[in-house]
Structure 1
Amino acid sequence: MKNRILAGAVALVSSVALGGCGYFSDSGSGGRTVTVWLMKDSVSQGFLDKFTASYEEEHPSIELEFKIQGWSDIGPKIITALKGDDAPDVIEVGNTQVAQYAESGGLRDLTLESMRDLGSDDWLPGLAQPGSINGVQYGIPWYAANRVVIYNKEIFEQAGVETPPKTRDAWIEASERLNTNGNQGMYLAGQNWYVLAGFIWDEGGELADENGGDWEGALASPEALKGMRFYKELQALGDGPLDADEEKPPQTDVFAEGDVAQIIAVPGTASLIEQKNPELKGKLGYFPIPGKTAKSPGSVFTGGSDLIVPKNADQRSAGIEVVKALASEKWQTELARTMSYVPNKPSLAHVIEGEEGTAAMAVGATRGRATPNSPQWAAVEAENPIKPYMTAVLQGGDPAEEAKAAAERITALLAGG
């Protein structure tokens, strides 16, 4: 989940990628080594160098050791580490993965630190909520990214749409005007379920509900059906495929052809579009996904990372201090500016002012949410009954019947079936 939404954001970072099996500090020979697992491409080498030099200068008895991990097989590797006797001291995990690791019983309770030292009352909900399990904070928010609307300014101008819409109604009206003269008003693939989730949340619905510790699919609720109805209305204002997601074909390629007015993607997607079609350079703009009223933007799925500390780590206390540093205002500011991420607190959004795409993303992040906080949600995504449900409705199927079937399958998967 995390790696897809961040793929576009990563396109904005330094071209110097993290390579090999890891990065090892070469400054000093401190008495204790704190080992940190970070995910590939989450941060640049430059950021790591700067953080390491500063931290080790301030903590001369500590040497930092970063080991870079790949997303494809990280789940089993972390579970094994949490159960073994050779765990790293800090691990970066996708924000929606914390629940499955907490279920193992191998995570350190960071509630006290989050309340006392890290200002947890100001965290982005899309990072903080999935890091908290039954009132215990296991994951400390690190950074976030979410979707915005990327638009072609030239097509907007030709259609007489002078300002980006701020409400759903205005968005539909503008998209209808843009969907003329051979242009697509909105290119939206039929199975972009992350976008659908935001519309469902705006209506007060959920993908799944928890009741007494048991999880049940909730796509058949009246609120969730309203979200699907709006998705269908918006999706019809373009030629997005009904039976595929945004990767088939890549919406980046479609937008680069020059006849699409809008797509919904992370801001970094714009640089990929410009690489494919340099004529679009300077013609792309961004705005937050509109909400039901102009008072606030629409809800969005928040992707990003939390930091966890294993119970069995050798340097647990020192590891917590590293987490505090990475989550602090100083290094949140550095990370946001270096990587074009959203900081972990809305109060820090000012540090990315002037960066149009990231600023639009930060506005949307205030209404960010995460997927249901069940340890079994990964199984739902692996099979993903939401996608065929969406296609069935877009192809004319009965929304209530299709939603009921999908909700029942989600319930079974969350129960381990």
Structure 2
Amino acid sequence: MQKRTLPLAILATAALGLTACAGGGTAGGDTVDGKGQTLNVWIMQGTNPDSEKFFSEVGDDFKKETGATLKVEYVQWADAHDRFVTSIAGGTTPDVAETGTTWTAEFADAGALAPIGDLVDKAGLSKDLVKGLVQSGTYDGEMYGMPWYAGVRSIIYRTDVFDELGLKAPTNWDEIVADVAAIKAAKPDMIPFPVPGDAEFDTYPWLWGAGGEISEKQGDKWVSQIASDKSRAGLQWWTDLALKHNSSSAGATTWKETDVMDNFLQGNVAMAVMGSWTPATIDQKAPDLKGKFAAIPIPGQKDGISPSVLGGSHLSMFETAKNKDLAFKFIELMTTGKYAKQWADETGYFPGQTSLLDEAVKSDDPLVQPFAKQMVDGGASVPVTPKFGAVQAKKTTNAMIQAILSGAKSVDEATTDAAKEMDSIMNGK
């Protein structure tokens, strides 16, 4: 396994000696008069099964504290990037929105976001924020994204199925293949390990695990590494899992991560790459599976851990916000203290405030600790550049995987085409 350097690897120790704000929203010591005003906020849908209840409580406290009404609109992740781009072009952005960590720099580069660094400093929060999330929320020396939460993908598997078949959780890639074969033979109607074609973050662990890379900055240019020998080897293994080892299904060629989740909830999947936020959803939506699944870090090719994308979200303030003090008061309320911890507890994500994160990292919960280990020892980052959001919007990686899974292209052909498209987008051609 290739050892990767990740800014967030410091998160296990960064929290020492820091304390959280007791309730959030008052750390700066200033009050904001928002009486009669409405704060418009966009939040991504599906992250928290109890979002409406959660934001109802937040809205009540926000009104008590500021006099303003909180109006939350929920946006599907799949549609969010295009909707942001359209709203930026039309000047119809919300006051505050959840922005994925790969989008914040892009929207800042477009001039749509308001800098918040001075407000963060004034509130006394600068030293208690996860540095990796601060880094991805900073563009051209200015902070535009307030760390809210972070998550990582590992493997969730059905312990009841593994126990029934006398299998152990895999510790390397060969063991994954062996487990797939055993499950397929004993349970032909079950999908042992889906390979979704429309889920780029499920793809990168295998590319990285083989020693490959997505793209590298060389001088003033980005050069795609997705067609390198090591990257191709990882992608070949991942797609062969479906094409040669029958771990997946033909339908999974177009699956998103939500489709993987839906099929797991229905009992159709034995193991899959899933996020640290998913156990809470499984418990809520499929109570019959409670106690029948567990998590492990994504195994390395031979041993250790394969890196996984450590992503998450910021809360960002838009330049169109009429009352920026009010907007930041909401951001502060959400990302510190009570509500930051409650959001993390309800979703399975890790908080963006280091004093709260320390508690999560030390957890002995079997559905938390493996993700925490993945996050600390096997976390990785996609290229930090405003252009990578455009690569994602183009679905360059997903189109590559789908072409391989459908048989339209070989791994060499698909990666060559993807590398050309990625270079063109990343270098603004």
**TM-score category (smaller protein):** 0.7 to 0.9
Q: 1:110 to 1:292 in 2, by over 3 A?
A: farther
Please give the residue correspondences for 1:13-412 in structure 2 after superposition, counting only pairs within 5 Å.
Answer: 30-31=34-35, 33=37, 35-39=39-43, 41=45, 44-57=51-64, 59=65, 61-71=66-76, 72=79, 74-80=83-89, 88-112=94-118, 117-119=124-126, 123=130, 125=132, 127-162=133-168, 164-168=169-173, 171-172=176-177, 174-175=179-180, 177-182=182-187, 185-189=192-196, 192-232=199-239, 234-235=241-242, 236-241=244-249, 244-247=253-256, 250-252=259-261, 254-255=263-264, 260-266=269-275, 280-291=289-300, 297-345=305-353, 348-349=356-357, 350-351=359-360, 353=363, 356-366=366-376, 367-391=378-402, 393=404, 395=407, 399-412=411-424
1:149/1:287 contact within 8 Å kept: yes
SS of 2:386's equivalent? Answer: coil
SS of 1:244's equivalent? Answer: helix
Q: 1:129 to 1:186 in 2, by over 3 A?
A: same
1:288/1:363 contact within 8 Å kept: yes
Task: Tell me by how many angstroms 1:142 deviates.
Answer: 1.1
For 1:92 and 1:191, how far apart are their aligned partners in 2? 22
Task: Tell me by how many angstroms 1:206 deviates.
Answer: 3.0
1:150/1:267 contact within 8 Å kept: no
One-letter identity of the residue aligned with 1:289: I
Task: Tell me by how many angstroms 1:275 deviates.
Answer: 9.0
Q: 1:78 to 1:132 in 2, by over 3 A?
A: farther
For 1:144 and 1:108, how far apart are their aligned partners in 2? 22
For 2:366 and 2:136, how far apart are their aligned partners in 1? 28
One-letter identity of the residue aligned with 2:157: Y
For 1:371 and 1:344, how far apart are their aligned partners in 2? 18
Tell me the TM-score normalized by structure 1: 0.73
SS of 1:148's equivalent? Answer: strand
Task: Tell me by how many angstroms 1:79 deviates.
Answer: 1.0
Tell me the TM-score normalized by structure 2: 0.72
For 1:35 and 1:411, how far apart are their aligned partners in 2? 39
SS of 1:143's equivalent? Answer: strand
For 1:247 and 1:169, how far apart are their aligned partners in 2? 25
Task: Tell me by how many angstroms 1:141 deviates.
Answer: 1.6
Residue correspondences, number: 382
SS of 2:294's equivalent? Answer: strand
Q: 1:288 to 1:152 in 2, by over 3 A?
A: same
- Which sections of structure 1, spanning at least 5 residues, go unmatched? 1-27
SS of 2:68's equivalent? Answer: strand
Q: 1:329 to 1:233 in 2, by over 3 A?
A: farther
Give the share of equivalent positions with the same residue, in percent: 23
Task: Tell me by how many angstroms 1:37 deviates.
Answer: 1.1
For 1:275 and 1:330, how far apart are their aligned partners in 2? 22
Task: Tell me by how many angstroms 1:250 deviates.
Answer: 3.6
- Which sections of structure 2, spanning at least 5 residues, go unmatched? 1-31
For 2:428 and 2:59, how far apart are their aligned partners in 1? 42
* Alignment match, 1:414: 426
For 1:277 and 1:46, how far apart are their aligned partners in 2? 20
Quote the RMSD (CA, aligned, Å). 4.0
Q: 1:79 to 1:212 in 2, by over 3 A?
A: farther
Task: Tell me by how many angstroms 1:50 deviates.
Answer: 2.9
Task: Tell me by how many angstroms 1:327 deviates.
Answer: 1.5
For 1:355 and 1:174, how far apart are their aligned partners in 2? 25
For 1:190 and 1:100, how far apart are their aligned partners in 2? 25
1:392-415 CA-to-partner distances (Å, cap 9, x unmatched) read 556596544432222002222334
Task: Tell me by how many angstroms 1:343 deviates.
Answer: 1.7
